[in-house]
Chain A
Amino acid sequence: DIQMTQSPSSLSASVGDRVTITCRASQGIANFLAWYQQKPGKGPKLLIYGGSTLQSGVPSRFSGSGSGTDFTLTISSLQPEDVATYYCQKYLSAPYTFGQGTKLEIK
């Protein structure tokens, strides 16, 4: 099975900072990569799919890039409401494996 590895596992940044989270697949997955945001006590929210396509209603400060095995989620200007755990997921084929998550906090 394809493994998904995120880095870092946790991250602390200041409001207004540019934040980058990376996700690596153990084999190529083309652009079948999604990013989710999960706030405490809530179900995950789809942010980006196809590696770089913003889901409807998601603020434009979020962006995604990458293809094949290496992917990046970027928040261009961190806002207090972005405090959450972020997960990548490959959805090319089952099993639909998630990365282990990146917990983002405000300094």
Chain B
Amino acid sequence: QPQLQESGPGLVKPSETLSLICTVSGASISSSSYYWGWIRQPPGKGLEWIANIYYSGSTYYNASLKSRVIISIDTSERQFSLKLSSVTVADTAVYFCARYDAAAGFDYWGQGTLVTVAS
């Protein structure tokens, strides 16, 4: 059973870059059957898809965030990462990493990590 774990700073200053890593265990991050993605949830609000990446490095971004987001993958470390630049308080959210199956949606999720943007 795949397990995903998010890690990174819980506090980021406005205008700086938010950086998170998702470590995958129990499944191959190099599988050609799946993509890997990031989703966020502001406190008390709904879910917003941010980006997906394939093991080959192909990327897919939410247009509303695309100018500030970079998603990357390191198959040797079994990790993929998220960088969100020029953050504001509106980027305060719980950030989830998840595995994406094109036939089923996001089938396995991490527990999420809260990132607060504040000075």
Contact = CB atoms under 8 A, between A and B. Distances in A.
B103 A44 contact: no
B105 A49 contact: yes
Contact of A43 (B48, B98, B103): B98
Interface residues of A, number: 23
Query: What 5 pairs across the A-B complex have the smallest Cβ distances?
Result: A34-B105, A43-B109, A49-B104, A98-B47, A96-B49
Given A43-B98, A94-B52, A95-B62, A55 B46 contact: no
B107 A98 contact: no
Interface in A59-98: 87, 89, 91, 94-98
B90 interface: no
Interface of B: 37, 46-49, 52, 60-64, 96, 98, 100-112
A11 interface: no
Decide if the interface of chain B is mainly helix, strand, loop or mixed: strand
A25 to B, nearest CB: 14
A98 B46 CA distance: 8
Given A87-B47, A96-B49, 18 more contacts: A34-B104, A34-B105, A34-B106, A36-B105, A42-B112, A43-B98, A43-B110, A44-B47, A44-B96, A46-B107, A49-B101, A49-B103, A53-B104, A89-B106, A94-B49, A94-B52, A98-B49, A100-B46
B109 A95 contact: no
Interface string A30-51: 0000101000001111100110
Nearest to B109: A43
B111 A43 contact: yes
Contacts of A98: 46-49
A89 B62 contact: no
A42 B47 CA distance: 13
Residue of A1, A55, A89, A94 with most partner-chain B CB within 10 A? A94
Contacts of B100: 91, 96
Nearest to A6: B46
A34 B39 CA distance: 15
B52 A91 contact: no
A49 B96 CA distance: 19
